[in-house]
Amino acid sequence: MNARNGTEHELAVGGERFRIHRIAGLAPATMPYSLRIVLENLLRHGVPADQVEALLAWDGTGTATAVDLNPSRIFLHDTNGVPALADLAAMRDAVAARGGDPARVNPLIPAELVVDHSVIVDHFGRPDALALNTEREYERNGERYRFLKWAEVAFDSFAVVPPGTGIMHQVNLERLARVVEARDGWAFPDLCLGTDSHTTMVNGLGVLGWGVGGIEAEAAMLGEPVSIPLPRVVGVRLTGALPPGSTATDLVLHLTELMRGRGVVGKFTEFSGPGVAALGVPDRATIANMSPEFGSTCAYFPIDAETIRYLRFTGRPKSQVELIAAYAKAQGLWHDPERPPRYAETLDLDLGTVVPSLAGPRRPQDRVRLDRARGRFRESLDRPSRPTTVNIGGDVSSIDNGAVAIAAITSCTNTSNPAVMVAAGLLARNADRRGLRPKPWVKTSLSPGSRVVADYLAKAGLTPHLDALGFHLTGFGCMTCIGASGGLIPAVSRAVREGDLSVAAVLSGNRNFEGRINPEVRMNFLASPPLVVAYALAGTMDADLAAEPLGTDAEGAPVFLADLWPSPEEVNAVIAEAVDPGMFAEAYADVFGGDERWRSLDAPEGAVFAWDAASDYLRRPPYLDGLPAEPEPVGDIAGARVLLHLGDTATTDHMSPPGAIGADTVAGRYLHDRGVPERAFNTYASRRGNHEVMVRGAFANVRLRNRLAPGTEGGWTVRDGEAATVFDAAAAYREAGVPLIVLAGREYGTGSSRDWAAKGPALLGVKAVIAESFERIHRSNLVGMGVLPLQFLPGESAETLGLTGFETYTVTGIGETTATVRADGREFRVTVRLDTPREVAYHRHGGIMPYVLRTRFSR
């Protein structure tokens, strides 16, 4: 049976005719909107009929059946995209070495990359901060950017959005997202998979999409489907409206707490209910962006009139908008609030219950009400008060634990939303007029997700007030949120070291994991942009902003947060006056062109990339070196030792930190020995095209705690009773032919869709990870690199089984759904987390890249 039979139809829109695979009438009326898009994808790509039948029989609970999805496009950013493209370049080398045509290794679907993860807050609090940071960005990353320009020419269907345009997800929302794709006479939903976990932000625009690892994205570009088990779909029913004083940021922190508490890892989430109508697309996108923090695969909002209004407002062509509306209505993808779908489970949230909140100090789901934030800070503090004097430009102050060292308006989550950005500008204006200023030890920065933000803040007359408070524009990119916060104010940095202080960062980002924002900052709090400004004024987390004054005005009168907070009516009036469609048209008029600096970069030519053996940024990846024509049989893991024994919520930041490379790290010493000055070390994120640096950065997060080496923080372990760095211990084990294992608790791999969190362990020699549970993207990344994910049976853990991590391990029965682990006389069963037949095939070949090379490009 062909799953396409009887579903091909025509759709007439504005004088044009498009072929479609009709799902209206075929999909059950109770099927969630997100799964209707999955159904269309299966029909259009002619998958085996049993996959379609399983979906049509969907009863709301999800099944073990795996389906093969084919994305309409792949979306990348530079720090994940460079290594992905380097892998494809290495595959071209491998094909050429086998006598084949390297140009056969080529994307078969559109792929777009936004350069947004390389700019760093080196300069701040000055009018020329943007220009200076941009200059340093090109100085550091010119080699990587030339490689991207080579790839743009060498690969078909691949385009680059140059630096300085904005953050990938906001650019996607405001310009690149198609919603409905028109290609070769067909119309179909825009199913977008991206190499960043926050690709889900575009769910707020009615686009189904989520984050995958770069390895998985490479395979999809080359025509491999993405295989997933049919998910359970959780409905989130929204009612009411946000009360005055509460923002979309507060809402999303409430939802993150709610979702994590209910457990939605690996599930689709979909929003419905009367409260959806109270949310514009920017609010929906703010929520959808945080889907990875929920743990869900996606956070989908169906297409409705608000979607169409936003598309028109942001300057999409009239013909495209008309097609989107007609297609959605014809296909049953238009939101009908009177006929809610059937969900596996439904969560309810009254928007009227949302209160001003923060999340922290270490996880996005750890929400705390603003009026209780001081208590959370004090409860989390693990060191005594140590007031330390700092001299900053002649201003002598005393700082203590909880001092706000970083206050950053940053990330796509919030800067895509004019309501919170205008609120921040109005609060800054009100504070400026009362004569308030941030404390001198606070590093302030503004890094919006698109140029449109700077345009409307300027038009509204708010930029001078933000500047007066030190929130000068520092760059258009993912900066502080990804760990590109730059160094602290030098005097503050010295005080942190000398006083062993636990200082804080307050940022409008989406993640606040340990060691992520800045290696010297131990406490990180997520907050709305206006609250970021408020905490910059307060200068400390040891304050009750809901009840205590932020400072005093020129007359000595106390100024409270409530005195500065703008009303919803004022915010809306400013948005109506200052934000206009022409801004979007102008900002994205030449989205792929770039400025003169980008255009003047020389790029190498040719189908095969000319690797430079002396490069410290780009080295040919080793994953296909010496690959035999056929995979070896999958065997037992015998005589393995534990490299790391980790607790709950080991994040991908712990496994592969994105931030600055320290001089005293293994990676830093490697660069130093190669003659790289410390000033040019850059970040781990920027050096992901060099496996020699990255394998030395594996498990090198300064806040990593390995239970094999109690009392230590950072990349340390124990081998033969002696302390050693993780890299050195792994090298010694590898030389001795000893395979390695990682033991872990729950939620292993929380965080970014970071390939190097799997690539690093694989290159260290890790053959398996045994954990209580895995986050979705990281588990698939492990499979993609040939590392076996094994899960303790329910109710069991390393602790309940009495495992210390110093045992010798043997794993047998890997080819079954459960395997047996023996560890110094203990024996227990584990679930083999190869969740689909395709993943079994990937593991048999040693990972996705060997599989693709053997099956698609062998002669």
At 465, give phi and psi (nearest 5°): -75, -40
Provide the 3-class DSSP secondary structure of residue 58: coil
Give me 173's structure tokens.
């929302």
Q: What's the mean per-residue pLDDT of the chain?
A: 95
Burial code of 395-416, b = ≥16 C-beta within 10 A, e = fewer?
eebebbbbbbbbbbbbbbbbbb
User: What is the rounded CA–CA span in Å between residue 75 and residue 79?
Assistant: 12
Q: In the prediction, which pLDDT does 536 show? A: 98
- CA pseudo-torsion sign 698, 702, 707, 710: positive
Nearest to 488 by CA among 684, 614, 305, 659: 659
435 within 8 A of 559, measured Cβ to Cβ: no
Mean pLDDT of 93-104: 94
Task: Please give the pLDDT value at position 4.
Answer: 54
State how far the Cα of 569 lies from the Cα of 615, in Å rounded to an integer.
55
Calculate mean pLDDT across residues 36-46. Answer: 96
For residues 250 and 371, is the Cβ–Cβ distance under 8 A?
no
State pLDDT tens for residues 615-650: 999 999 999 999 999 999 999 999 999 999 999 999
Tokens of 829: 């069963």
- 561 has a pLDDT exceeding 70: yes
pLDDT at 2 over 60: no
Backbone angles phi, psi at 66, to 5 degrees: -95, 145
At 733 the three-state DSSP class reads: helix
Residues 598, 146: Cα–Cα separation, whole Å: 9
Give bridge partners of residue 9 from the DSSP assignment: 20
- DSSP H or E run through 766: strand 766-771
Whether 396 contacts 432, CB under 8 Å: no
273 — pLDDT class (breaks 50, 70, 90): very high
For residues 176 and 192, the answer to whether their CB atoms sit within 8 Å is no
Comparing CA positions, the residue from 838, 731, 729 lying closest to residue 780 is 838
Tell me the two tokens of residue 10: 């025509």
Phi/psi at 309 (nearest 5 deg)?
Answer: -60, -45
Instruction: Tell me how far apart the alpha carbons of residues 76 and 54 are, in angstroms, rounded to a whole number.
Output: 31
- Domains of the chain from N-terminus onward: 73-95+103-353 (3.30.499.10), 357-579 (3.30.499.10), 637-856 (3.20.19.10)
Query: 678, exposed or middle or buried, with CB in 10 Å at 0-12, 13-18, 19+?
Result: exposed
Residues 720-770 have pLDDT tens digits of 999 999 999 999 999 999 999 999 999 999 988 889 999 999 999 999 999
Average pLDDT of the residues in 89-99:
94
Q: What is the mean pLDDT of residues 265-273?
A: 94
Task: With CA atoms as reference, report the closest residue to 533 among 416, 449, 414.
Answer: 414
Residues in contact with 766: Cβ distance below 8 Å, sequence separation at least 6, in sequence order: 643, 730, 740, 741, 742, 787
Q: What is the pLDDT of residues 185-204, one digit of tens each?
A: 999 999 999 999 999 999 99
**CA 308/CA 324 separation, integer angstroms:** 8
Residues 706 and 643: their CA atoms lie apart, in Å, by 9
Closest CA to 471 of 431, 517, 511, 502: 431
370: nearest Cα among 157, 558, 526, 162: 526
Q: What is the pLDDT of residue 457?
A: 98
Which regions of 135-229 does DSSP assign to beta strands (E)? 158-161, 180-183, 186-189, 192-194, 209-211, 226-229
Instruction: Return the pLDDT at 409.
Output: 98
For the chain, the farthest-separated pair of C-alpha atoms sits apart, in whole angstroms, at 82
Q: How many CB atoms lie within 10 A of CB 596?
A: 6
Q: What pLDDT, in 10s, does the model give residues 428-481?
A: 999 999 999 999 999 999 999 999 999 999 999 999 999 999 999 999 999 999
Residue 93 has pLDDT above 50, yes or no: yes
d(CA 290, CA 535): 23
Whether 522 shows a pLDDT value over 60: the answer reads yes
Contact 113, 160 (CB under 8 A): yes
Quickly count helices (H) and strands (E) in the chain. Answer: 30, 34
Phi, then psi, of 486 in degrees rounded to 5 = 70, 180
Section 142-146 average pLDDT: 96
Sign of CA dihedral 801, 807, 813, 815: positive
The CA distance from 356 to 486, in Å, is: 29
DSSP states of 71-117: -SEEEEEHHHHHHHHHHHHHHHHHHHHTTS-GGGS--SS-EEEE--S
Tokens 């300069």 -> residue: 123
Q: What is the pLDDT of residue 1?
A: 35
The DSSP call for residue 542 is: S
Closest CA to 288 of 211, 389, 187, 393: 211
Q: Average pLDDT for residues 389-411, to the nearest whole number?
A: 96
CA distances from 312 to 172, 181, 309, 322, 415 (A): 15, 16, 5, 10, 20
Question: Could you tell me where the DSSP H helices lie in 246-317?
Answer: 248-262, 281-289, 291-294, 305-313
Q: Is 605 left (phi over 0), alpha (psi -120 to 50) or beta?
A: beta
Closest CA to 621 of 87, 88, 31, 210: 87
Instruction: Go through the chain and tell me how many residues it has.
Output: 859
SS3 content of the chain, % helix, strand, coil (to 5): 35, 20, 45
Q: What's the rounded Cα separation, in Å, for the pair 360 and 380?
A: 9
What lies within 8 Å, CB to CB, of 605 at 6+ separation is 150, 153, 154
Distance of CA 419 to the CA centre of its chain: 23
DSSP 489: P
Residue 276 has pLDDT above 50, yes or no: yes
Residues 334-355 as b/e (b if ≥16 CB within 10 A, e otherwise) read bbeeeebbebbeebebebeebb
Q: Model confidence over 54-79: pLDDT tens digits?
A: 999 877 665 668 999 999 999 999 99
DSSP lists the bridge partners of residue 627 as: none
pTM comes to 0.94
Phi, psi at 31, each rounded to 5°: -70, 135
Reported as a single tens digit per residue, the pLDDT across 680-724 is 999 999 999 999 999 999 999 999 999 999 999 999 999 999 999
The residue type found at 46 is G
CA-wise closest residue to 769 among 742, 804, 805, 799: 742
pLDDT the model gives residue 62: 58
What gap in Å lies between CA 178 and CA 529, rounded to an integer? 29
- The residue-averaged pLDDT of 258-283 equals 94
819, 829 Cβ separation under 8 angstroms:
yes
Asked if residue 628 lies in contact with residue 688, where contact means CB atoms within 8 angstroms, the answer is: no
According to the model, what pLDDT value does residue 858 have? 77
Measured between alpha carbons, how far is 80 from 513 in angstroms, rounded to an integer?
A: 19
Single-letter amino acid, residue 656: S
d(CA 179, CA 175): 11
What would the mean pLDDT of 263-283 be, rounded to a whole number?
A: 94
Query: CA-CA distances (angstroms) from residue 311 to 33, 71, 308, 481, 749?
Result: 20, 22, 5, 27, 35
* DSSP helix/strand/coil, 668: helix
- What is d(CA 391, CA 380) in angstroms, rounded to the nearest whole number? 28
Asked whether the beta carbons of 315 and 591 are under 8 A apart, the reply is no
How far apart (Å, rounded) are the C-alpha atoms in residues 723 and 122? Answer: 35
Contacts of residue 467, Cβ cutoff 8 Å, sequence gap at least 6 = 127
Helical packing angle, 848-856 and 214-221, nearest 10°: 10
